[in-house]
A and B are shown apart, each in its own frame.
Chain A
Amino acid sequence: MEGSNAETELGVSVGSIRITDVTQDGDLLTFAITSQKLNGSAGVCVFRTYDDFDWLQQSLFSQENLPGLQGIIFPPLPSKAFPSQSNTQTKTLKQLGFLALGQDWQSYCKALEFYLQQVAAHPTLCKSKALDSFLVNSESPGKQRGKKGIFNRLSQAVEEMRKESHKDVDNFFQNERNKNTNVASLSKVATEKLLDVVMTEQKLALACGHFSTSLHLCVNQDDADAVAFSKICLKLSDIIEAVKRNFEKVASNNLSTLGLGLDLESRYQEAEKEMLFRRTCKLIELETVKKNTEKAKANKREVMEAFQKAAEKEFNQISSVAKQEIERFHSSRVNVLQNFLIGWCEQQLNTAKEFAELYSQHLEACRNMYSD
């Protein structure tokens, strides 16, 4: 999540990763992704589908020879979009939230782009071969699948959710878990509520549009009075049209800044939660091993102790990576949120100024009309 860490081992410039285009073919969205190496070589453009993204994520999950892999907070990949269902807006909305809004999947592309940037900016994940091949290979890597990561299954296993409430041995992690649970749900709610606001703004824009169009019905050129009244109606139509654009602008501002920001925040909180959960699972595993070792017969004790040591070592590695990750996450999320908030505020301010100007022009025009 760190924008500052622009250099990676592979030399991919984080800021250069862009999703420049998206094409829709039935249910399949194809994204054009451009990126550039830091060494100044020419940019590369590849075409990827969601399955390729999914493959990348799974590859990252299942990297080998990485101690403490499970302590990493993996950048969250947005869930799959089904464009053909976009007619059934409510379902898509429920699934994707903000990402389903915006024209031509713009928000969705933004989210995917952000995901790639986060992966590329991650000190450990950026070293992954999978990322390189994802960004550079013209061949679609998604085909070579089958390596469904173990974490995915873990996180989805409902029956294991009760482990979440397992008491942690480490106060730091216990606190972090509590906070995470709290913030994750709150940010989710906030995102949903903002989504409601944006939806309502869009509805209002639509209603204004209808109103403005209907006003044209009142136009009548029969006589002087009718013409005067028609003029007024047209003026009002213009004004309502302006109000409509205002709503559209405000809605898109909300969407492209705070909306995406909150969405990302809430998804990242989920990612942290998953990481913490993985660690908790490891902890439980370790505790079970410990118990078994105590109970174990003498002849097996040595094996068990070695086993326990390995588990302990793994758990400690995970914990230490997790600690770093959490710190990194906290500092970067504040940064990201700040950027979104500032961007949002500035956009709204500009919009407000722009329309204040426009309204006062209309007002002037109306007053002049009045004096005519």
Chain B
Amino acid sequence: MAASSERSPPPFPDSEEPELLEDSDDGADAFTGTSISEMDSPSPDTARPPKDIFNDPPEDIFNDPLSNINSEPQKKVDTKIASPSSDEAVDLFSDPLDDDSDVISSPEVQNPMPDLLSEPVEVPKSDFKGEPPVQKNATRQQEIFEDPPKTSSKSSSVKKAASSELFGDDDDEEDLFKEPPKVGTKKPQPSGPPVDVFTEVISDVKVKPQVKDDPTDLFAEEALSAPAPKPSASSSSRTNGVHSEEQDLFSEATVELSLDSPHNDRKKKDAVKPSVSAPAAPAASSSSKAQSKTLEELEEEESEDKFDLNISVTNPEKVGDGMNAYMAYKVSTQTSLTMFRSKTFTVRRRFSDFLGLYEKLSEKHSQNGYIVPPPPEKSILGMTKVKVGKDDPSSAEFVERRRGALERYLQRVVTHPSLLQDPDVREFLEKEELPRAVSTQALSGAGFLKMLNKATDAVSKMTIKMNEQDVWFDEKIQDVENEEQHLRKLHVMVESLVSHRKELSGNTAVFAKSVAMLGSSEDNTALSRALSQLAEVEDRIEQLHQDQASNDFFTFSELLADYIRLLGAVRGCFDQRMKSWQRWQDAENMLQKKREAEAKLLWANKPDKLQQAKDEIAEWEAKVTQYERDFERISATVRKEVIRFDKEKTRDFKKQIIKYLESLLNSQQQLIKYWEAFLPEAKAIA
């Protein structure tokens, strides 16, 4: 760690140190702070601060090399090597890497590309830094490659398919230009070792097939491979001779890195702990483990249509006493998916763990346009009742309601193909002990969402001028808003339905009682008997009403509540897209300014500053292209997600309606039984 702080650029030691060393709240606060500032950023100038805050120095460091890349790439590589060469970490990392390359050349090789991409998913546990970005890459690329592996095992064709799918007609050259700055921004955070890996990569690259491409090409690939120990992979795939496409792929991944910047710290602190103690051994083991895992993942992807993963949340149990008490739930998973260690496993989780999972997922995925299912909201009132320990029906209902909500939440998470791949999800389902989710304490689910909404609202208000090019989005945004209102209205309706049902059940009970009294004071024995029978019938009917009330509640009311929350998440996606658009527009404006500045310089005939201005223009041109690409990508993702969401919604509602009908039918059948039994009694009155 000493190495890391040494080499870290000025702004970092301060913010990073506490997180690395202690698991305190500061880290989380710092994080939320930055994320907020990012969301709030009002003007074009401040729109890029989240990155700037962290990355300004790195940009400076690397921007120069970058701009030089075209002219003197060799020199750049040299400077790279020079700084880390003395670090011993190179050894640590070179071992696993060797392993990797060995493994890859063994049988599993048939599908080297996906292996490589998904492999890093496992790595984070032992790997120092760059972990989150790697995850990002992995999950992202897994998705990208989802289809190709199924259809072909040849890496080259896979790549082609993926890249064409992703980028269609994009220009490769431009990518090259904007990647390096991204990589640069990344590096200062991971500090130390990644750089080492980096150099390793470079040497690797040099040893491997001599690439006829220009060095910028190399650099782009290094950048990507740097954080994770998979340079051999990139080089091996390079031997296939499909350069341009591959680069594209990776540039895609690096783009994600930049978006992650504010969140990385958090990840890192988790990752750092184990690695500090015994970095070498775990790295080796995990990489080999990763290999076997990824194979399974492949299989899983192939059999994705036969989705088999049942999650149930059961046995809510109060742990502790007084105000420190909390509810723990049993999370049981039953699956034939080979990505899990066993077919069935059970863990105990508390509510804040669920919130923590959501937070982790939404940090990582929501900015990419994914709809991350929101967990049930924290209810201080409900929980306090439970804590006080009154065994009254309302607190039992509260617990049951929450249990159901948590179950549905988890099910929604795992049915999302991308979220299922997230290591945090698997950790949540499998790992015996989770680190306590701290930040959820201060931020209740509702509060968190509210805050998020407020912030995103502010952003959307700010960018309300966005002239929507895409009719589909234009309509969809409107639809979602309307739908949310409709669902809210329906929810109110169902709530009143449920409360009336409960009332009916109560009234029926009272009526049954008064009929029973009437029967008991009746002289005519047959009539008396019939009346007391009637009272029994009414008692049963009361039970039916009660059941139906809870059916109404759990099938519709909760379903609607879930979807109101989910629609909030959908709107969040739209906002993310809008933010991305904003970033792109800001960059455009900036580029415009730089161009004007250049024109002024030309006019003023100041050649000394001209070069710098040109560099800046190049830099901003790259940014603009990248942001535009970002925006297109997030648009595509959001679109895909919304369509998926609509499908899921339709399926969910269908399922619930059938369930509801079944319960209605059952009630009627019970009623028929009751009345049929009572009819002879009534007829027997003489």
Contact = CB atoms under 8 A, between A and B. Distances in A.
Category for how many chain B residues contact A: 35 or more
B592 to A, nearest CB: 37
Given A207-B496, A214-B489, A345-B675, A370 B654 contact: yes
Interface in A176-232: 179, 182-183, 186-187, 189-190, 193-194, 196-197, 200-201, 203-204, 207-208, 210-211, 214-215, 217-218, 220, 222, 225-226, 228-229, 232
B327 interface: no
Interface string A332-372: 00100110011011101100110110011011001101100
Contact of A207 (B500, B658, B660): B500
B470 interface: no
Contacts of A233: 653
Contacts of A334: 524, 526-527, 685-686
Contact of B494 (A196, A197, A211, A235): A211
Interface stretch (B369-377, B506-514, B618-626): B506-514
A352 B514 contact: no
Interface stretch (B82-90, B109-117, B643-651): B643-651
A250 B534 CA distance: 16
Given A189-B517, A359-B661, A366-B657, 16 more contacts: A183-B518, A183-B521, A186-B518, A190-B518, A197-B511, A210-B496, A217-B489, A218-B486, A220-B479, A225-B647, A229-B646, A233-B653, A243-B664, A342-B682, A345-B679, A366-B658
A324 B628 CA distance: 100
Contact of A349 (B490, B504, B660, B679): B679
A330 interface: yes
Contact of B657 (A239, A352, A355): A239
Nearest to B645: A225
Interface residues of A, number: 58
Contacts of B515: 190
A236 interface: yes
B682 A338 contact: yes
Contact of B671 (A179, A189, A200, A348): A348
Interface in B155-173: none
Contacts of A360: 665
A179 B493 contact: no
A211 B493 contact: yes
B305 interface: no
Contacts of A359: 661, 664-665, 668
A370 B678 CA distance: 38
B212 interface: no
| 9 nearest A-B residue pairs (beta carbon) | A356-B668, A225-B646, A349-B675, A193-B511, A338-B685, A352-B671, A211-B493, A341-B682, A200-B504
B661 A197 contact: no
B530 interface: yes
A186 B685 contact: no
B257 to A, nearest CB: 33
Contacts of B653: 229, 232-233, 236
The residue among B493, B496, B676, B679 with the most chain A CB atoms within 10 A of its own CB is: B493
A363 B658 CA distance: 6
Interface string A75-112: 00000000000000000000000000000000000000
B597 interface: no
Contacts of B526: 334
The residue among B486, B518, B530, B678 with the most chain A CB atoms within 10 A of its own CB is: B518
Nearest to A349: B675
A239 B660 contact: yes
23 contacts: A183-B522, A190-B517, A193-B507, A197-B504, A204-B504, A207-B500, A210-B493, A214-B490, A218-B490, A225-B646, A229-B646, A232-B650, A232-B653, A235-B657, A334-B685, A341-B530, A341-B682, A345-B679, A348-B671, A352-B672, A353-B668, A363-B661, A366-B658
B486 A214 contact: yes
Nearest to B517: A186
A186 B521 contact: yes
B342 interface: no
A352 B675 contact: yes
A345 B675 CA distance: 6
A344 B511 CA distance: 15
Contacts of B522: 183
B483 interface: yes
Contacts, number: 156
Nearest to A348: B675
Nearest to B513: A193
Contacts of A338: 527, 530, 682-683, 685-686
Contacts of A196: 507, 510-511
A313 to B, nearest CB: 31
Nearest to A331: B524
A356 B665 contact: yes
Contacts of A348: 671, 675
Nearest to B504: A200
B501 interface: yes
B661 A362 contact: yes
B672 A226 contact: no
Contacts of B493: 207, 210-211, 214
B503 interface: yes
Contacts of A200: 500, 503-504, 507
B391 interface: no
B25 to A, nearest CB: 43
B497 A353 contact: no
A339 to B, nearest CB: 9
B662 interface: yes
B321 interface: no
B371 to A, nearest CB: 14
Contacts of B497: 204, 207-208, 211
B64 interface: no
Contacts of A208: 497
A330 B524 contact: yes
B668 A355 contact: yes
A337 B529 CA distance: 13
A348 B522 CA distance: 24
Interface in B513-560: 514-515, 517-518, 521-524, 526-527, 530, 534
B53 to A, nearest CB: 41
A197 B654 contact: no
Interface string A300-342: 0000000000000000000000000000001000100110011
B355 to A, nearest CB: 29
B682 A352 contact: no
A196 B506 CA distance: 10
Nearest to A239: B661
A341 B534 contact: yes
B511 A190 contact: yes
Given A183-B521, A341-B685, A356-B668, A363 B500 contact: no
Given A196-B507, A214-B489, A346-B679, A352 B658 contact: no
A355 B503 CA distance: 22
B665 A189 contact: no
Given A186-B514, A353-B672, A229 B650 contact: yes
Interface string B475-505: 1000100110011011001101100110110
Nearest to A344: B682
Interface string A7-38: 00000000000000000000000000000000
B344 interface: no
Contacts of B394: none
B659 to A, nearest CB: 10
Contacts of B527: 334, 337-338
B415 interface: no
A369 B654 CA distance: 9
B46 interface: no
Nearest to A200: B504
